[in-house]
Amino acid sequence: MRAAPLGALLALACWCAGAAAQLPAGPAQDVASIERGRALLANRHETGCVLCHVVPGFAAGGELGPSLAGVAQRGAAAQLRQRIADARQFNPHTIMPVYGNVSGLQSVAPAYQGQPVLSAQGLDDIVAYLMAVAR
């Protein structure tokens, strides 16, 4: 795995910190959609997942984060959802962006305060895709 330039990591962290917000702890109201989850994973501007991770079902992926191949076998859907929402719960030194929690974030742009990177539905959709495909 090659290391990313510090400037790129800082830019990604600032972008994610500026866009992160508190999400409800529980699942969304609608039924999770594998198709919507795939679309969110592929969207480099909304989630950035494929920039850092190899994701099953995608031709290209980044090497900064761990491969998501086999993630469905490594844990329950609820734990995967928690890791995506705020990986700091599992590793306080992680460089993974916070997608569902604003506590502890600093210098959030006013336009993004109180707004989630991912909605509760978006989290559920991504988990549905990974649990179905990343076996």
pLDDT score of 67 more than 80: yes
Q: What is the pTM of this model?
A: 0.76
Element (H or E) spanning 10, and its range?
Answer: helix 6-19
Q: Enter the DSSP assignment of 3.
A: P
Q: Which residue has the tokens 């830019």?
A: 11
At 131 the pLDDT is 97
What residue ranges do the domains of the chain occupy?
6-133
Give the per-residue pLDDT at 21. 37
Helix (H) or strand (E) segment spanning residue 128: helix 120-133
Mean pLDDT of the chain: 82
Q: How far apart are CA 19 and CA 53, in angstroms?
A: 20
Q: Over 80: is that where the pLDDT of 69 sits?
A: yes
Q: What are the tens digits of pLDDT across the range 74-123?
A: 999 999 999 999 999 999 999 999 898 777 778 888 988 888 788 899 99
d(CA 108, CA 33): 30
* Domain range 6-133, CATH architecture: Orthogonal Bundle (1.10)
